[in-house]
Amino acid sequence: MPWPERMQQEHGGAHCDPLQPTPYAAHAERRTRQVVVLTAAMMAIEIVAGTLSGSMALLADGWHMATHVAAFGITLFAYRYARHHARSGRYSFGTGKVGVLGGFTSAVALAMVALAMAVESVGRLFEPQAIRFDEAIAVAIAGLLVNLVSGVLLHGAQHDHPHATDTHHHHHDHNLRAAYYHVLADALTSVFAIVALAAGKYLDWIWLDAVVGIIGAAVIARWAWGLLRDTGHILLDGQADAATLEAVRRAIEADADNRISDLHVWQLAPGRCALALSLTTRQPRPPDHYKALLGDIGALAHVTVEVVPREDASRAPAP
């Protein structure tokens, strides 16, 4: 046989190095650090102002921002850890999933914030407290402005990611996405606080202060669930989307009489995937030939190909 019945593989792939941090990671880390400083300063102001003014909406927003400062710390730690250990032999496929783990952890923090906000808001609904509206509204507006600036910083970092050659669903930096969601959650609670405080001041709707806390908790919980679902899929090496799998199948099976008997594509890092496939054919070629067929499919950083001659196809792995 020209090519023996064993795995033919090459580490590193033809597209990019799975162990090297993505070029935009440092930029995202800088933007996140700037957001941490802004958020920490506004957090302290809102907690103090919420306590002195008696506004549940403002106090909830302040403590909400406190949890986000901790979450941003997780984000920064993930970037730094991934960078310093990128070449460590302890990780077979590099440290690309550290950011995904950071995103998952931040999503858990978001869910806890939503639960705490809901419990406290329900309590305030039954036991309203006097609120100093003018001071609370002024601080809430300042908090919203800080959140908008932070959102612009993180949104800009997200759009610096390479999209041109990456397949859909593979370019997301879930660590940065988690930080962005935290900022959006902060902005949302600031808007709710402003609305509730204005209604309480001008319409005497004191109860609205607690109601908007419950609404905000529900929205934040929804964001947390979406992030948990996406990051959990990656952490468990979930299969790539159907469109990517079909693109791989078409590229391989359009050549000669190749037939894929086993196929796995999973994410290693934002914009980087691993692929392992087994194919049967009557015209076996070197593995590099089949890897070249996948040249138009972006994000493949580590490709493993097993070639089994057709007459021995019974020994190929089951689909």
pLDDT digits (tens, 9 = 90+) for 134-179: 877 888 888 888 888 888 877 766 555 444 334 444 445 666 777 7
Q: What mean pLDDT is predicted for residues 219-245?
A: 88
The dihedrals phi and psi of 169, each to the nearest 5 degrees, come to 80, 0
Give me the percent of the chain exceeding a pLDDT of 70: 79
The dihedrals phi and psi of 132, each to the nearest 5 degrees, come to -90, 95
pLDDT at 160: 52
Instruction: For residue range 291-308, list pLDDT tens digits in order.
Output: 999 988 878 888 999 999
One domain, residues 113 and 262: no
Average pLDDT, the chain: 77
Which domain-ending residue is among 235, 258, 275? 235
pLDDT at 277: 95
Q: What is the CATH number of the domain that holds 149?
A: 1.20.1510.10
Residue 182 or 305, more confident:
305
> Domain for residue 267, yes or no?
yes
One domain, residues 40 and 137: yes
Counting the structural domains of the chain, the total is: 2
> Domain for residue 219, yes or no?
yes
pLDDT at 293: 94
Number of Cβ atoms within 10 Å of the Cβ of 300: 25
Confidence grade of residue 260 (pLDDT, cut at 50, 70, 90) = very high
> Domain for residue 2, yes or no?
no
pLDDT at 171: 47
> Domain for residue 160, yes or no?
yes
pLDDT at 307: 94
Which domain-ending residue is among 204, 235, 266? 235
> Domain for residue 214, yes or no?
yes
Tell me the pTM.
0.67
> Domain for residue 300, yes or no?
yes
CB-based contacts of 293, cutoff 8 Å, min separation 6: 251, 252, 254, 255
Classify residue 228 by burial, with Cβ atoms within 10 Å: 0-12, 13-18, 19+: middle
Residue 4 has pLDDT above 50, yes or no: no
One domain, residues 117 and 156: yes
The dihedrals phi and psi of 307, each to the nearest 5 degrees, come to -110, 125
Residue 280 has pLDDT above 70, yes or no: yes
**And the tokens for 186?**
């902060």
Distance in angstroms (rounded) separating the CA atoms of residues 34 and 76: 11
> Domain for residue 319, yes or no?
no
> Domain for residue 229, yes or no?
yes
pLDDT at 201: 86
One domain, residues 93 and 207: yes
One domain, residues 225 and 249: no
Confidence grade of residue 276 (pLDDT, cut at 50, 70, 90) = very high
One domain, residues 218 and 250: no
The whole domain housing 254 covers: 7-14+240-314
Distance in angstroms (rounded) separating the CA atoms of residues 186 and 264: 39
Residue 227 has pLDDT above 70, yes or no: yes
Q: What is the CATH number of the domain that holds 272?
A: 3.30.70.1350
Residue 49 has pLDDT above 50, yes or no: yes
One domain, residues 184 and 295: no
Which one, of 291, 298, 263, lies nearest residue 10 by Cα? 291
Distance in angstroms (rounded) separating the CA atoms of residues 136 and 56: 10
pLDDT at 205: 85
One domain, residues 111 and 132: yes
Residue 39 has pLDDT above 50, yes or no: yes
Residue 81 or 264, more confident:
264
One domain, residues 67 and 205: yes
Length of the chain: 319
Residue 3 has pLDDT above 50, yes or no: no
One domain, residues 202 and 306: no
Which domain-ending residue is among 235, 268, 301? 235
One domain, residues 94 and 185: yes
One domain, residues 76 and 113: yes
pLDDT at 265: 95
